[in-house]
Structure 1
C-alpha cells in the first residue's frame, strides 16, 4: 500500500514540475492575433490567445497560451509575453501546419 502511494506521489510530482511546451495541434493559430488559440497552444503575443494571456516558457523562450491563474506555474513567466523572434516562431508553426496537413 505504501509503495502504491509513493509511486502515485512521484508521478504527480513529475507531472507538476514538467516543463511546458506549446501544443502543436494549434500551430495554425500562432501569430494570427485573432484570439483563436486555445490554452496550451503556442503564441507570439496575448492577442493570439482566447485567454488573452501569452506566457513565456522560461526554458525555451517560446510563448504558450495560459490561463492567467496558471501563467506563473511550471516554468512560465506570466502573461504579456511578446515574442522577439515572432517571424521565426510563425514560420516554424506554418511548417508544422504543412507537416500536419491541417
Structure 2
C-alpha cells in the first residue's frame, strides 16, 4: 500500500514539475502589438508585447508573457524571448481572433 502511494505521489510530482505553459488564446489580439497590452499568460513575440515587459520562451519555442519572478518556472526559459517566426505567430494569432469572433460589431 505504501509503495502504491509513493509511486502515485512521485508520478504526480514529476508530471507537475514538467508541465509546460502554453499561451492563453484569449490574448490573441495582443500578440505582436508591441504596446505592452498583453496580460500574463498571453502569447507574445517579444518583451514589448507584455505588460510585465517579460516574454519568456515556454520551452517549446512559443512566447508567453510572464512575471519576471516566474519566468523560469514550469519549463519557461526566462525573459527576453524574441520569436524567430514572429510573422507566422502574429498571423496565427490574428486567425485565432477571427475564430473567436472578436470583430467590431456594427451598432443598429
Give the structure-1-normalised TM-score: 0.85
Consecutive unaligned residues in structure 2, runs of 5 or more:
103-108
Query: 2: CA distance between counterparts of 1:100 and 1:67?
Result: 26
Distance (Å, rounded) in 1 between the aligned partners of 2:32 and 2:47 = 10
Measured in 2, the distance between the counterparts of 1:95 and 1:84 equals 19
Q: Structure 2-normalised TM-score?
A: 0.81
Aligned CA RMSD, in angstroms, stands at: 1.9
Residue 53 of structure 2 is aligned to residue 29 of structure 1: no
Paired residue for 2:73? 73
Consecutive unaligned residues of structure 1, counting only runs of 5 or more, are none
State the structure with more CA Rg: 2
Distance in 1 between residues matched to 2:37 and 2:17, nearest whole Å: 27
